[in-house]
């Protein structure tokens, strides 16, 4: 007789040396966005080189608005399964449950993945008309995407100043472009039964497996439930304490290439919630137009310095990236 195991046993797990507390990292650079001094721009650039990751405070997005949006998201994920399934399976946009992408990755989460450009937010053909998903959620998501896109642009302009690029909007214009190929993701990580019953077997269930983000810059916001980790330069995985009042920004593969490897596209992952509450996160991924050539910025190249990467467009990269598994090194195919 074959025994049917609960679905969680089929999910990837990693060794975490539990029950020893997970390595919490308190050294993440913090950028005050109300401060546009040279020092602040320098903090961003150094953070992009050292970690590919930093925290943003004083960003001007009201906590009241964030709480309202989070409540709408929680309400969406509380809908009966058959209601949510109406927006799946993601291809790549729509509602997904445990399956991530199309190449066999799984995690302990459910999510909604949207395509976004400055004009249009869409989930899939069924919901291009606002009202396709609950209208209240739709309206708030649109407002949120506009706000975080502006935040990402502001940061990219501070980077351009600090790197002395020929134009302040050299990077930001790529994600402001009406053809910008950006996306937005709402993730819900319910409490994981195995994590809650953890008896010290030294393993954690994976919520979202390790990966780098393909785009230019990602902006993450979550509730107070932990689980998010980044990989430091020495290969150590560290936990980032959640902060619902702040945003976490990370460098994506495209910005790594545009800086010829100076900025690091940070490897990150999420461990399933070992909490009675779900982790709820939202991530905006700012990407360039499909036809954009992704190549090192000529003004930062030293004399005689050669590109580490082959010439390619964002469309070439995407075609290749969407055939890969989460943990694959997607830039490998484009190394010279």
Ligand X SMILES: O=C(O)CCC(=O)C(=O)O
Ligand Y SMILES: C=C1C[C@]23C[C@@]1(O)CC[C@H]2[C@@]12CC[C@H](O)[C@@](C)(C(=O)O1)[C@H]2[C@@H]3C(=O)O
Residue 59 contacts by C-beta under 8 Å, 6 or more apart in sequence?
A: 33, 151, 246, 247
Per rule CB under 6 A, count of chain residues that contact ligand Y: 17
Q: Does 285 bind ligand Y (CB under 6 A)?
A: yes
Q: Does 228 bind ligand X (CB under 6 A)?
A: yes
Residue 24 contacts by C-beta under 8 Å, 6 or more apart in sequence?
A: 238, 239, 241
Tokens 């020929």, located at residue: 166
Residue 183 touches which member of ligand X, ligand Y, Fe ion, none, C-beta under 5-8 Å by kind: ligand Y
Q: Does 103 bind ligand Y (CB under 6 A)?
A: yes
Q: Which of residues 157-186 bind ligand X (CB under 6 A)?
A: 185
Q: Does 274 bind Fe ion (CB under 5 A)?
A: no
Q: From CA 68, how far away is CA 55, in angstroms rounded?
A: 22
Neighbours of 316 (CB within 10 A): 16
Residue 324 touches which member of Fe ion, ligand Y, ligand X, none, C-beta under 5-8 Å by kind: ligand Y
Tokens 């467009």, located at residue: 313
Residue nearest to ligand X (CB): 281
Kindly tell me which residue out of 182, 187, 256, 260 binds ligand X, with binding defined by CB under 6 A.
187
**90-98, 115-123, 220-228, 327-335 -> range binding ligand X (CB under 6 A):** 220-228
The string over 259-277, giving b where at least 16 C-beta atoms fall within 10 Å of a residue's C-beta and e elsewhere, is bbbbbbbbbbbbbbbbbee
CB of 208 to ligand Y, least distance (A): 8
Q: From CA 29, how far away is CA 246, in angstroms rounded?
A: 12
Residue 262 annotated to the active site: no
CA-CA distances (angstroms) from residue 201 to 18, 20, 329?
A: 7, 11, 30
Residue 187 touches which member of ligand Y, Fe ion, ligand X, none, C-beta under 5-8 Å by kind: ligand X
- Taking the least distance from each CB to ligand Y, the nearer of 43 and 278 is 278
Enter the tokens of residue 8. 């969680």
Kindly tell me which residue out of 38, 58, 83, 322 binds ligand Y, with binding defined by CB under 6 A.
322
Q: Which of residues 159-188 bind ligand Y (CB under 6 A)?
A: 183, 185
CB of 273 to ligand X, least distance (A): 11
- Taking the least distance from each CB to ligand Y, the nearer of 123 and 163 is 123
CB of 253 to Fe ion, least distance (A): 11
Q: From CA 211, how far away is CA 125, in angstroms rounded?
A: 28
- Taking the least distance from each CB to ligand X, the nearer of 149 and 185 is 185
Q: Which of residues 263-292 bind ligand X (CB under 6 A)?
A: 268, 270, 281, 283
Give start and end residues of each alpha helix (H) in the chain: 38-50, 63-77, 81-85, 135-162, 172-176, 193-196, 253-258, 314-321
- Taking the least distance from each CB to Fe ion, the nearer of 160 and 219 is 219
Per the residue annotation, which of 176, 269, 279, 330 is the catalytic one?
279
Interstrand relation of 53-57 and 30-32 (parallel, antiparallel or unpaired): parallel
Q: Does 97 bind ligand Y (CB under 6 A)?
A: no
Residue 78 contacts by C-beta under 8 Å, 6 or more apart in sequence?
A: none
CB of 206 to ligand Y, least distance (A): 13
CA-CA distances (angstroms) from residue 314 to 74, 158, 167, 289, 331?
A: 33, 23, 21, 7, 12
Q: Does 213 bind Fe ion (CB under 5 A)?
A: yes
Residue 103 touches which member of ligand X, Fe ion, ligand Y, none, C-beta under 5-8 Å by kind: ligand Y
- Taking the least distance from each CB to ligand Y, the nearer of 62 and 103 is 103
Residues near ligand X (CB under 6 A) = 185, 187, 208, 213, 220, 222, 228, 268, 270, 281, 283
List, by residue number, the catalytic residues.
279
């Amino acid at each position: 007789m074959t025994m049917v195991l609960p679905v969680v046993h089929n999910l990837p797990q990693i060794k975490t040396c539990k029950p020893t507390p997970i390595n919490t990292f308190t050294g993440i650079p913090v950028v005050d966005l109300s401060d546009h001094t040279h020092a602040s721009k320098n903090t961003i650039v150094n953070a992009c080189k050292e970690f590919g990751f930093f925290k943003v405070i004083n960003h001007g997005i009201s906590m009241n608005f964030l709480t309202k949006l989070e409540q709408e998201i929680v309400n969406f994920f509380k809908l009966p399964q058959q209601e949510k399934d109406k927006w799946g399976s993601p291809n790549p946009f729509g509602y997904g449950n445990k399956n991530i992408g199309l190449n066999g990755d799984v995690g302990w989460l459910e999510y909604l993945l949207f395509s976004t450009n400055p004009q249009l937010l869409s989930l899939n053909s069924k919901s291009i008309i606002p009202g396709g998903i609950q209208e209240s959620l739709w309206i708030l998501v649109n407002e949120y995407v506009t706000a975080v896109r502006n935040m990402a642009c502001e940061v990219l302009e501070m980077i351009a100043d600090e790197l002395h690029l020929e134009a302040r909007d050299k990077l930001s214009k790529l994600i402001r472009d009406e053809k910008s190929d950006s996306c937005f993701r709402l993730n819900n990580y319910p409490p994981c039964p195995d994590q809650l019953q953890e008896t010290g077997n030294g393993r954690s269930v994976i919520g979202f497996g390790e990966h780098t983000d393909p785009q230019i810059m990602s902006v993450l916001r979550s509730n107070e439930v932990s689980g998010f980790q980044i990989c430091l330069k020495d290969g150590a995985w560290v936990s980032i304490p959640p902060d619902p009042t702040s945003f976490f920004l990370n460098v994506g593969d495209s910005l790594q290439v545009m800086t010829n490897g100076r900025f690091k596209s940070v490897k990150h992952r999420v461990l399933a919630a070992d909490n009675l509450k779900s982790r709820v996160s939202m991530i905006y991924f700012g990407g360039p137009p499909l036809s954009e050539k992704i190549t090192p910025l000529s003004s930062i190249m030293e004399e005689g310095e050669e590109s580490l990467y082959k010439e390619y467009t964002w469309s070439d990269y995407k075609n290749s990236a969407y055939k890969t598994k989460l943990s694959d090194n997607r830039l490998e195919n484009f190394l010279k």
